[in-house]
Every structure is written in structure tokens, then in C-alpha cells.
Amino acid sequence: MAQNKVQYQRGLSMLEFFDGYGTPERCEAAVRAWRWPEGFVCPRCEGTWHSEFRRGRRLYFQCSGCRYQCSLVSGTLFESSNLPLPVWFTAMHLITQAKTGVSALELKRHLGVSYPTAWLLKHKLMQLMFEREATRQLTGRVEIDDAYLGGEVQGGKPGRGSPNKVPFVAAVQTTESGQPVFVCLSPRPFTKDALLAFAERSLAAPATLVSDGLGCFTAVQGTGIRHEPHVTGGGAASAKDPRFLAVNTVLGNLKTSLSGTYHAFGFAKYGYRYLGQVQYLFNRRFDLRTILPRLARAACQSNPCGLRAVRTAEQYC
Ligand SMILES: [Zn+2]
């Protein structure tokens, strides 16, 4: 049987991970190189002359020009916690290499931290992944479907119209032959206004939207996006329809991943973050070896995200 090149590619092995990021010094060297590739630059006066010292485990810099002090991680996502960098890096490694996601409970066990700490760490990283994907635009052939996050509700109606579920749009850019390339997952109601807003944000002409003909998808008419509805009648027949193979595969994997990894979470409040994480990892699946350094570099360039910001679940910290 032919191996799927994406699925069977070499990831970043545990040994390679420890080799690159297994000690506080190696993590510090990596963060330093990403933050200040040309050497320390004072965030206040942009001077480069400085001295270095440690307070506890943390590395600090003092600008020789204006006397400003900052730590290696101040002003980055790693700032607002006292967690050592190797804990952050191990969490990022586990999250980026896992095929089906890692729950906060698993992180707690692997990292030897409390559950609230693991939860917060995970949500900060998911928020970062969501933000990195916020400008993603799909073009060319795009399969689109509506779906729901949330457990089955006994007695509830399946599919569209079910109560207690968070509706989201799944759009998959494919090659002309239907191979998935990039995905966009966006929580929103299935109304024409919401779909129009989705199209303006996440689709770039020339694009052809392939849908099952749900009324709201016609909203793209007049925006320069072509709409190609195929009315399938829903159910098992539409799930097997080759014209929707890419989006149905992505939705199937998403369902397996969420139901196997997470037993319960606030879909209504945090669903966009889980979808953001799935989207981030999917869109970088072609190169598993660089996901960790890319995410860590993004964390170095991202603002600190405090507990309140994580809890209020604004779509941007
Ligand atoms: Zn300075």
C-alpha cells in the first residue's frame, strides 16, 4: 500500500527535541536568537550595550545607556508565568507533534505541573495558534460545509438545528483533483450575513466555493467568488460524495480528535481556540520538523497573555 507522504514524514523525535531544547540553556539560546538575532537591543532606547545577570533562574539584561532592565522573556508570551522555558518547550513539542491533540490533563501529567497551570499554558498556546491563523485566506477550489462542535444531546436533533451546539464553517482549499491543501475553521451561525463576513475575511478571488447548496452559502454571490452548489440531500450519501471528500475527511478527523482527547470543554466560550489549534496544525502538517521552532518564534514575538485575557476569551488577547 502506498504510504501517505504527509502522514509518514519524519517528525521531530523526542531525542532530537532534547538535543535542541532539553535544557534551560538551550531554550534560552533559542529564545535569544529569535528575539534578538543581531544581539540584545534595548526595548526602550534601542541601545545595544548591556550587562546580563540572573535573578533566581531567570536571565535579565540591563541596558548600559538608559539602565532599563528586562528579562529574556519579558514582552513575550512566556512572560506572564514563572514556568521554566523547558516546560514551555516540552508543552509546545507535545502539542505540535501529536496527531490528535493533547488535553490539559495529559499536559499536567507530562509536565509535572498543576491542572490549572497546564490548562492556562495550553490556552495561551491555542490563542497564539488562533491568532497566527487569523489572516489565512483560501483560494482556488474550496469545499465548504457547516458543522457543529459539542457533544450529542440526548433527544436532540442531529445535524443542523441541534440545540446546545456551536455552529462553525469548515472550508478546505484543495488542488484541482481534490487533494486538501489548507483549511479554515470558523465558529459562526449559518446565516447569509455571517457567511458573507467569512467570505470577505477568509476567501480570496479567484475562488470557487463547492457546497451542498445550503442557502446561506449563496451569500457569496456578487463578491467575485464563484459558488458551485451540489444538492445532495444530506445524510450518508453526501458524506461519501467525492466532491466533498476533502472537507468530510477534515471534519471526520476533527470529530475523532476532539471526542478522543477532550471529554468536556466550554465549546461556546473556547471553541474558536480549539478550532484555531486544529487549523494551525493542519496547515503546517507538510513540515512537522519546523512546527515547534515556528510556534516558539511566534511566541517570542507575541505579547504576554495574562490569565484574565485567557479567561475572558476575547478573540484577541
Ligand atoms: Zn536602553
Distance CA 30, CA 50 (A): 19
Q: What is the pLDDT of residue 3?
A: 63
265 within some domain: yes
- pLDDT (tens digit, 0 to 9) for every residue of the chain, 317 residues total? 556 776 677 778 889 999 999 999 999 999 999 999 999 999 999 999 999 999 988 899 999 999 999 999 998 999 977 899 999 999 999 999 887 778 899 999 999 999 999 999 999 999 999 999 999 999 999 999 988 887 554 444 455 555 557 889 999 999 999 999 999 999 988 888 999 899 999 999 899 999 887 777 888 887 888 888 888 766 666 667 888 899 999 998 888 877 766 655 566 778 889 899 999 999 999 888 899 999 999 999 888 776 677 777 655 44
Alpha carbon separation from 91 to 55, 102, 118, 236, 302 (Å, rounded): 24, 9, 9, 38, 17
Tell if the pTM clears 0.75, that is, is over it: yes
Ligand 1 center to residue 54 CA distance, Å?
18
Ligand 1 center to residue 70 CA distance, Å?
10
Cell reading at 220? 457569496
Ligand 1 center to residue 300 CA distance, Å?
20
129 within some domain: no
Ligand 1 center to residue 71 CA distance, Å?
13
Q: What is the pLDDT of residue 233?
A: 67
223 within some domain: yes
* Three-state DSSP state, 184: strand
CA nearest to 288, candidates 71, 5, 3: 5
Helices (H), the chain: 14-21, 24-35, 85-97, 104-111, 115-132, 192-202, 235-239, 245-261, 267-283, 288-300, 307-312
Q: What is the pLDDT of residue 235?
A: 66
179 within some domain: yes
20 within some domain: no
Is residue 211 within 8 Å of 227, Cβ to Cβ? yes
Residues with CB under 5 A from ligand 1 (ion): 42, 44-45, 47, 63, 65-66, 68
204 within some domain: yes
Q: What is the pLDDT of residue 230?
A: 85
Ligand 1 center to residue 50 CA distance, Å?
8
Ligand 1 center to residue 64 CA distance, Å?
7
Ligand 1 center to residue 26 CA distance, Å?
26
Is residue 313 within 8 Å of 270, Cβ to Cβ? yes
Q: What is the pLDDT of residue 234?
A: 64
121 within some domain: no
Ligand 1 center to residue 72 CA distance, Å?
15
Q: How would you classify residue 123: left for phi > 0, otherwise alpha for psi between -120 and 50, otherwise beta? A: alpha
Ligand 1 center to residue 49 CA distance, Å?
8
Is residue 160 within 8 Å of 130, Cβ to Cβ? no
CA end-to-end span of the chain: 46
Q: What is the pLDDT of residue 153?
A: 42
Ligand 1 center to residue 137 CA distance, Å?
39
Total domains in the fold of the chain? 1
Is residue 85 within 8 Å of 311, Cβ to Cβ? no
Sheet of 166-174: strand order equals: 180-187, 166-174, 138-149, 203-211, 225-229
Q: Which domain does 155 fall in, by range? A: 138-271
118 within some domain: no
**CATH code of the domain in which 210 resides:** 3.30.420
